[in-house]
Structure 1
Amino acid sequence: MSRAARLQAFLTRFEGVPVVWGENDCSAAPALWWSEETGKKVELPTYSSRDEAHAIIKRMGGLDAVWDDIAAQAGAMERYGDPEVGDVAIIDTRLHGQIGGICGAGRILTIRKDNGGWHPFGPVRQFVKVYATP
């Protein structure tokens, strides 16, 4: 099965499933994707609410800094240039600040919606960081 097909199956599994912070939110879902794709447990800092997640992000200096640590655990290197399907990326948004998601084709970033499911965001012109899925 191709990576694109595996990603589609992963996304479908969470469609309509309410977000649980620390388990399947906009950072936990990409970490779970990496765990499933690589067979390695990818650990996140522990949090159970949006406020706790934001406190960790602030303490570490930004979502990209948090993901630098997560990427190192997964064995993922930063990708320079266009992302590939299944990569994990961070973007800046005017409304929500930095958010993370999983890259689809055509510079689309698939982000987890708070009410469950996914939102295709893009095409993204500028990524803060892209981490190549190992």
Structure 2
Amino acid sequence: MTIENRLRAYIDAAPKDAVQWGHSDCSRFAQGWFEQETGRAVDAPSYASEAEAQDLIAQAGSLAALWTQYLGEPDHVRDPDVGFADIGIIAITGGRQCGGIFMKNRTMALRGLAGVSVLRPRGIVAAWSVHR
């Protein structure tokens, strides 16, 4: 199966219902893809609510800084050459950050509050290569 087909199957299998923090939020969505494609387990901290997730992000300084703690330094930082199927952090409204999976044509699939959305990010904060 091609990476395009694996990614489509992964997105199609994502939960369509309300987000469950610590299980099906934007970070877990991207990390699950990373684990599937690299075979490398991600040792991310546990949390069970939005408040707990926000506390972890605040302690780290940002979502990108939190991901860096367990994924290592990003392969791309604000790089327009982020690869297809890489995972990363984008800037969203209100100075917040969200994680997802980069797709073709500089779009990103991300797990929102109720299912997966695809959008064209305005600002890439950091990205980690899935196939290095």
> What range describes the TM-score normalised by the shorter chain of this pair?
0.7 to 0.9
Number of residue-to-residue matches in the alignment = 129
For the residue of structure 2 that corresponds to 1:64, the secondary structure is: helix
Asked whether the equivalents of residues 31 and 43 of structure 1 are also in contact (C-alpha less than 8 Å), the reply is no
Distance 1:107 1:82 in 2: 9
Identity across the alignment (%): 29
Q: How does 1:76-91 map to 2 (within 5 A)?
A: 77-79=74-76, 80-91=79-90
For the residue of structure 1 that corresponds to 2:54, the secondary structure is: helix
Provide the residue aligned with 1:133 in structure 2.
Answer: 130
Moved over 6 A (4+): none
Residue 38 of structure 1 and its aligned partner are, at CA, apart by 1.4
Query: Structure 1 length as normaliser, TM-score?
Result: 0.87
Provide the residue aligned with 1:26 in structure 2.
Answer: 26
Distance 1:77 1:94 in 2: 22
Partner AA of 2:100 in structure 1:
G
Deviations 1:42-90 (A, max 9, x none): 1211101111001000001100101112322xxx851244221211111
Provide the residue aligned with 2:62 in structure 1.
Answer: 62
Deviations 1:92-113 (A, max 9, x none): 1124611111111111111102
Provide the residue aligned with 1:102 in structure 2.
Answer: 101
Distance 2:70 2:39 in 1: 15
Residue 20 of structure 1 and its aligned partner are, at CA, apart by 1.5
Distance 2:15 2:24 in 1: 11
Does residue 121 (structure 1) correspond to residue 112 (structure 2)? The answer is: no
Residue 24 of structure 1 and its aligned partner are, at CA, apart by 1.6
Query: Structure 2 length as normaliser, TM-score?
Result: 0.88
Deviates more, 1:80-89 or 1:45-54: 80-89
Show structure 2 runs of 5+ residues with no match.
none
